Structure 1
Amino acid sequence: MGNVGQFARLWGPRRPRARSSVREHLRDTFWFAPTVGLVGAVLLWLGAFAVDAEIVSRLQRAGAFDEVGELVSIAEDARTIVTTISSAMMTFIGVVFSISLVAVQMASGQLTPRVVRIFVRSRISKATLSVFLATFLFSLLVLTSYESETDARQVTSVPVVQSLLTMALVALSLLLFIGYVSATLRLMQVGPVVDRITHETFRMLVRHVAEGPGGEPLPAESARIAHQGRAGVLLDVHVARLVRAARRQGVVLRLIPRIGDFVMPGTPVLAVHGGAAPSPRVLRHAVSVGVERTFHQDLGLGLRQLSDIALRALSPAVNDPTTAVQCLDRIVQILAAVVHRPLGTVQHRDRRGAVRLSQDVPGWTDLVDLALAEIRESSVRSPQVTRRLLAGIEDLLLLVPAERREPLERHRTLLLQAVEHTVPSAADRRFASFPDRQGIG
């Protein structure tokens, strides 16, 4: 609970914001930030062009034609630099990102394909691409500002400020490139990847804490609303929109599938309790469906990704039990953060405190099985992993209340039985059955 509490103290409990799902969906795209960067480059150029024109205009009104001539001379000297920048920047972009995509492909092959999503959501990756493209476009626009006229009395604009801004953008691009290479190299390491997954999980847990547990009984079910969109994974629901629709209709809505479930057209997604169903127009775009799960509202995605990385590490083709141990460290950390949390149902309330939306989330047994079952079955022949798994279970047993001990004790018993039946030597069985937080420390 310490990690979740730390995040909660930093951000504090808050109601879900109306645009939170839109923000999360934009973070999962790689086109939005570069597009904003290109638009910003155009706006910056228009502003710099206006400043350059105003400087020349004031100097001409003051009769300082010698100063205008000096500006023209400076701009002509900078023109070669801007031309070089514009011709080299796109090539630089292509080479850098080709190498980066190869690195991401290697990381996805060694860990799990789902680490590509970390690259897509990376702020430094988006910032780097945005600034690179903005620098390229800005330099092209600056080249259009140069005039063939050299008479100081007839010049209308001298791109001095524009040239300086181009050089500043190049300097910023170089700094971002250093940070980008560092971030890409970290993506190829197991530790930073599992740490990032854990961090995203705790961010989601804070939102889950803010929403609060369920428990209030619902009125009788009166109708069901079917999914009308495309088939895919249920990514999230627009909580604020559903709460408003239920409040106006005077009903309670219940989300039937869990976040992360696969839904098809015609599948019931919302149950209406206590009255008539809201208009389909009101509920349009309230349920988001996509091709891959996201961290926005998915309580089990972090454990799923960590389990995937551990399973690949334990496969005969990879045979890297140390990576599995690193994943178990984070799995135990996440489970420890929810040992005292009410799970199973979340109820969202309106401003007056009335329940308007109810949804099922994974319970404690579901999370434990997701985190431990597959790793337990694959770790029998790796004493490093069995020892770490037993240590993690014992640590969790010290934290959980009595009513939540059963799934942990069940997995411990099954693991010890599997070791007993699989490992032929009695000494090896005792060694593999001894808990150790480092596996083989």
Structure 2
Amino acid sequence: MRLLTRHVWFRAALFCVFAASLALAGAVVGPVLSYDFGTKIGAKSVDNILNVLAASMLTVTTFSLTAMVQAYSGATSSITPRAVQLLIDDTTAQNALSTFLGSFLFAVVGIIALSTDLYGETGRVILYIGTILVILYIVVTLLRWIEHVANFGRVSDTINRVETAALKAVADLTVPLRFHASTTTFPADARPIRCDAIGRVTHIDLSDLAEVAEEIGTVVNVAVSPGALIDPARTIAWLSSDADDRQIRKIADAFTIADNRAFDQDPRFGLVVLAEIAARALSPAVNDPGTAIAVLDAGTRVLAALLRHHPDETNANPARVTIPPLAFRDLIEDLYRPIARDGASMLEVGIRLQKSLLTLTGLEPFARSACEAASADALERAEAALTSDADRNALLRLRHQLWEAPHMPA
């Protein structure tokens, strides 16, 4: 249901159904009103208003759709294609497009109904009042859309969207963070469960797994995390006891497999997309270190949220379901390695990267070794890429101050 409501057509269809229903409501409610009341409020003028509304809303709908497509194309070519889905899911843009399309349909249905004398003299009153309400809603939506479209699809806006999606995935995380990923080992008598599809795990239905585990009387051990690439040969879960075909099929169906990764249960994907944005900005064709620094700040906040996250009773795993924890070292590499590689020749990026890594070390003791290793890797790359001795020495002095005298301010 959540995925369905994110589609543009779903919201637009709801607005259109409501608009058509409102336009036809006058035929039902109109007979209860008096003729004098309809005459006093000028309901006869509704014909002209609907004609103007139909012409203008068709133009505004076309403009809005063009602006959205241009934002998607710009994000694909200049930011990263992986972030486009967040723009498509934007509720403000979907509401604007749905409002304008629904208003156009409202006007067309109203004009058609008027031409067939469906309303009568009193039914026009309901149509007139509905038209005024629709116009007021259009004005409010248009004002919000004008403000929104100024930043829609821009680099800073996309970074904020990716960060927000990653933070939401962190808040919903059901497993704690670990330094290393746990090695998946299967007992000799384990019953492996596989899936016929080839793709990425985008969602794991823990409630379904818990129901099957309760029915079998054992623990369902999940072997993959959201975002993992699976194939028919890879085990996605295993049981310590046997189960019938229906139960095995229900466990396999609890894993949603798609062609591409999704942000919902995969905070690691958010870090990957942030790193892609920084890598595109650091390419010679763009040469935008400021964007890379903004990505480092956003990634630091996401990693800090991961380090502080401790699943509670509201989002912990069911008692009979186990999921492998996220590995902090993998998360560090996902974010910092591409930026250290592509921004090695830029001193300002190197400075921000070193300070960002130091920020994380104060949150959890186990984070220091991974951060220090990433810091050393970034320094090694920068030493090889920096052409100025002054820049190289400045970065060396900074790293010495940060990591050998961590009490100094970052």
Tell me which interval the TM-score lies in, with the shorter structure as reference length: 0.7 to 0.9
Structure 2 residue identity aligned to 1:274: S
Output the CA distance in 1 between the equivalents of 2:139 and 2:26.
22
Q: SS of 1:251's equivalent?
A: coil
Q: Are 1:168 and 2:137 counterparts? A: no
Contact 2:80/2:277 (<8 A) preserved? yes
The one of 308, 312, 320 aligned to 2:276: 308
Deviation readout 1:67-108 (Å, 9 max, x if unpaired): 17727x933321111122223322321122113311332233
Q: Are 1:253 and 2:231 counterparts? A: no
What RMSD, in angstroms, separates the aligned Cα atoms of the two structures?
3.2
Aligned ranges for residues 19-418 of structure 1 at < 5 Å? 22-23=1-2, 25-55=3-33, 59=34, 67=36, 70=39, 74-146=42-114, 155=120, 157-208=122-173, 220=187, 222-228=190-196, 230-265=197-232, 267-277=234-244, 278-280=246-248, 282-283=250-251, 285-341=253-309, 348-349=317-318, 355-401=319-365, 403-418=366-381
Greater helix proportion: 2
Q: SS of 2:52's equivalent?
A: helix
Shift of 1:47: 3.8
Q: SS of 1:330's equivalent?
A: helix
Q: More displaced, 284-293 or 297-306? A: 284-293
User: Could you tell me the TM-score, scaled by structure 1's length?
Assistant: 0.79
Output the CA distance in 1 between the equivalents of 2:4 and 2:307.
32
Match in the other structure for 2:407: none
In 2 relative to 1, CA 218–382 (structure 1 residues): closer, same or farther, beyond 3 Å?
Answer: closer
Output the CA distance in 1 between the equivalents of 2:194 and 2:114.
61
Contact 1:235/1:288 (<8 A) preserved? yes
Shift of 1:330: 1.1
Shift of 1:212: 6.2
Structure 2 residue identity aligned to 1:432: L
In 2 relative to 1, CA 106–199 (structure 1 residues): closer, same or farther, beyond 3 Å?
Answer: same
Match in the other structure for 2:384: 421
User: How many residues are treated as equivalent by the alignment?
Assistant: 392
Q: More displaced, 36-45 or 217-226? A: 217-226
Output the CA distance in 2 between the equivalents of 1:284 and 1:159.
57
Output the CA distance in 2 between the equivalents of 1:321 and 1:431.
18
In 2 relative to 1, CA 250–414 (structure 1 residues): closer, same or farther, beyond 3 Å?
Answer: same
Structure 1 residue identity aligned to 2:328: W
Contact 2:340/2:378 (<8 A) preserved? yes
Structure 1 residue identity aligned to 2:32: E
Instruction: Return 5+ residue gaps in structure 1 as ranges.
Output: 1-21, 60-64, 350-354
Contact 1:237/1:286 (<8 A) preserved? yes
Contact 1:347/1:358 (<8 A) preserved? no
Structure 2 residue identity aligned to 1:223: R
User: Could you tell me the TM-score, scaled by structure 2's length?
Assistant: 0.85
Shift of 1:147: 6.0
Structure 1 consecutive aligned stretches of length 4 or more whose deviation exceeds 4 Å: 147-150, 154-157, 211-215, 217-221, 340-343, 434-437
Output the CA distance in 2 between the equivalents of 1:249 and 1:125.
47
Output the CA distance in 2 between the equivalents of 1:131 and 1:149.
27
Instruction: Return 5+ residue gaps in structure 2 as ranges.
Output: 403-409
